[in-house]
Amino acid sequence: SQKVKDAVLIPRYVRVNAHKTNVEKAILAFIKEGYTYEDPCTDLSSLPKKTVRRDRHLNDLLVLPTNSDLHDHPMYLSGELILQDKASCFPAHVCNPPRGAHIIDACAAPGNKTSHLSALVGNTGRIFAFDLDMRRLDLLKRLTTKAGCKNITPIHGSFLEVDPHDPAYAEVEYLLLDPSCSGSGIISRLDHLVDDGNLAEFQIAVIKHAMKFPKAKKVVYSTCSIHPQENEHVVTTILSSTSEFVLGPRSETIPTWERRGLIKECNDDADIADCVVRTSPTEDYTNGFFVACFMRKDETAPKED
């Protein structure tokens, strides 16, 4: 369809891995190879060949022309660059853990968001990375080792079976939840969608479980789905079932990103819609994605001096 054709023109996004290099060095390396550095821009539909630019919203992301093949590039092979779609870089930034934080990545494999969290905390603290699928968890181990991560504990098993009162997780304040979803936002899958009515039930169970961890103060939920049933509806269901957590304000959820939740899918509540993030596979030059950030109530109150 025309929609799919339009959507496939997304640029090649490259996350610069702070464990191995920085954005300035990566840009210089591209320039040495004959690339031209250009200013960030809004029209990403036909970027000139061999150009590199910073992303307008995320400070660790570079934007190269569509179809740039970096799979044999030395900076990719060394783990300095991670090939990761822009929207899937949102959750770790929304989580925004401080150095030393204890973090759970509940549905972690293959580990792109895990290694992003690890980079954001500079290899400090601890990241407990769960996944139900052993083969995918093995891939997470390989990819996070390649990326230079040293603060990750991979754990095979269902996050739903983890005891929130286990002393091992007593200091966990940040939880990133990227559970299985229909994948309906993924451009390469736009023409063969999964339709599983039980997904929302699972997604809600994962969020509710995360909120049971005694010190949890930030619970970030994401999907690569465009369906309101897995996105806004999940958020409104959670909000109506908890008195301890509220949605974090827009300032916590990529405030400069203009596309927010669908108001009519948030029970016509524009405030809820404004706190969550959507990306559109046909309009935003990214895959379709959704992010919401729940915060423990006392964490959203202004701090006294």
Q: Which residues are catalytic?
A: 224
Looking at the DSSP bridge assignments, the partners of residue 13 are 63
Nearer to ligand SAM, 221 or 285 (CB): 221
Residue 29 or residue 132: which is nearer to ligand SAM going by CB?
Answer: 132
Nearest to 233 by CA among 272, 266, 201: 266
Measure the CA–CA gap between 272 and 97, rounded to whole angstroms. Answer: 23
Nearer to ligand SAM, 68 or 112 (CB): 112
Supply the angle between the helices 112-120 and 134-146 in degrees, to the nearest 10: 40
Cβ atoms within 10 Å, residue 295: 20
Say if strands 245-247 and 289-296 run parallel, antiparallel, or are unpaired.
Answer: antiparallel
Least distance from ligand SAM to the Cβ atom of residue 128, Å: 11
SS3 214: coil
Give least dist CB 113 to ligand SAM, A.
4
CB of 37 vs ligand SAM, minimal distance in Å: 28
Between 47 and 177, whose beta carbon lies closer to ligand SAM? 177
**Positions at the binding site for S-adenosyl-L-methionine:** 107-113, 131, 178
Considering the complex, what minimum distance in angstroms separates the CB of residue 111 from ligand SAM? 5
Those residues whose C-beta lies under 8 Å from the C-beta of residue 12, and which sit 6 or more positions away, are 63, 64, 65, 66, 67, 68, 70, 83
Q: What is the DSSP letter of 260?
A: B
Q: Nearest distance from residue 49's CB to ligand SAM, in Å?
A: 29
Helices 199-210 and 232-239 cross at an angle (nearest 10°) of 40
**Site for ligand SAM, rule CB under 6 A:** 88, 106-113, 130-133, 136, 158-160, 178-180
Cβ within 8 Å of residue 108, ≥6 positions away: 114, 129, 130, 131, 137, 140, 154, 178
Is the Cβ of residue 164 or residue 249 nearer to ligand SAM in the bound state? 164
- State the amino acid at position 210 in one-letter form: A
Task: Closer to ligand SAM by CB, 181 or 276: give it.
Answer: 181
Q: Name the residue whose CB lies closest to ligand SAM.
A: 107
Between CA 127 and CA 175 the distance in angstroms is 9
Q: Buried b / exposed e across 101-133, counting CB within 10 Å, b at 16+?
A: bbbbbbbbbbbbbbbbbbbbbeeebbbbbbbee
